Structures are given as C-alpha cells and as structure tokens.
Amino acid sequence: MRDFCNNSPPSEGKYLVVATSNQNKFFEIRSALGQIGIALYSLSSFPRIEEPPETGTTFDENAKQKAEYYFQHLQNPLLTEDSGLVIPALNGFPGIHSARIAADDASRIALVLEKMKGREDRYAYYICSLVYHDGKQMTAVEGRCDGVITEEPIGGLGFGYDPIFRPENHPATFGQMTIKQKTFYSHRGRAVEKIIPNLIAEFRNYVSGQ
C-alpha cells in the first residue's frame, strides 16, 4: 500500500482519506490496514479544515459526527475514529474526554496516575469507534483492548496514555511496543480488522459507481 500522507491527493483517481489530524493515529491505521490496495491520505494532504466540535456522549456518536463533517468538506470516501481510555474505578474517566483533560500527553498521564494513586483495582480499557463513510454507505465498528494502568510510565514509544497502559496478558505497555506490535493488540488495530471487509467492498462499489 502506498503512503501519500505528506503529498497532495491526485486530481484524478480514487483514494481513501483517514480523516484525522493526529499523525500517530494515521500511522497506526495505515499499519493495521496493511496491503489493501487503496491509496491513503491523511488530513495533512489537504487545505486545513477546522476540527469539528465533539458533542456526542459516546465514542460512536463522535466518530459518526466526524464522518459526516469531514465528508461535507472533502466529498470523498473516508475513515474517521474516536477513541479513548476508560477506567471503571474512576467512573469511566477520562472516557470521551481522554484527549481534553489536560494540555499534553505528559499532563494527562500525570492526572490519571494521581487519581489512581493507592487504588488496587487498576483495570482499564481502550475503545476505538471507527467509521467508513462515502456519502452513501456508512459502516461503524468498535475495537476494544482490556488491560491495566501501571503505577508509573514505562516506555517512550506510542502516544497518549500508552506508557501507562499494559494490555491484558502481556508483559509490556503500549509505550514499549512498536507500531506493528501495538497494532496486533490495540483497540485501533482490532477496529480496523473488523472494518476491512466492508471497507473494501463499499469502496469498490463507490469507485465502480463513479
């Protein structure tokens, strides 16, 4: 699969937009998609589009809102996602607000660790709601990865809460894994795996109908 994330899309031809401004998410989705034979572009290949307000109360609602919003601007088949960390012992915090509870990853991690200090129940899970939309068809799936919150950050890879999240039945945190390793276990990788059959079929139908 070709990587066009740093170039402008062609004036002709069909391609799929991974509609995120987070290049880390783009790279993970690209890795999970593998060799599907569809040219991919991230939002960095297009004139800047203001991010949509996230007014949904669930990951699924936010992902679908993004899909509708970006399709209006791009008029092209796309993938959108909304994801986050859920900690039942903290009543679901940070949940859909995972990216907005503090200014940067380090501050967000520090806040979560402070809230988890002294807690024996450290169970948590990542959720990724992933949506394909081409103006006619919309397909939504969800990927989930269960694990635990570590006592301190471990590893310098990944992004977000990766250094403090250790997936179930694995000795390493996401912060210790390469993109390829993380994709095998992650919520995002599992969501992509679920959506691939419908994505390929619906994208082909879109192309053949043009």
- Residue-wise pLDDT for 148-203, tens only, equals 999 999 999 999 999 999 999 999 999 999 999 999 999 999 999 999 999 999 99
Q: Locate 102 and state its tokens.
A: 């503090």
The torsion angle over the Cα atoms of residues 11, 17, 22 and 28, rounded to 10 degrees, is -120
Which of 60, 82, 134, 162 is catalytic? The answer is 82
Enter the pTM of the model.
0.93
How high does pLDDT run on average in the chain? 94
134 is catalytic: no
SS3 133: strand
Q: Which amino acid is located at 190 in the chain?
A: R
| Residue 12 reports pLDDT greater than 80 | no
Q: How far is Cα 54 from Cα 51, in angstroms, rounded to an integer?
A: 9
**CATH architecture type of domain 16-208:** Alpha-Beta Complex (3.90)
pLDDT value at residue 92: 99
pLDDT band at 205 (very low <50, low <70, confident <90, very high): very high
Q: How far is Cα 32 from Cα 179, in angstroms, rounded to an integer?
A: 9
What number is the average pLDDT over the span 119-138? Answer: 98
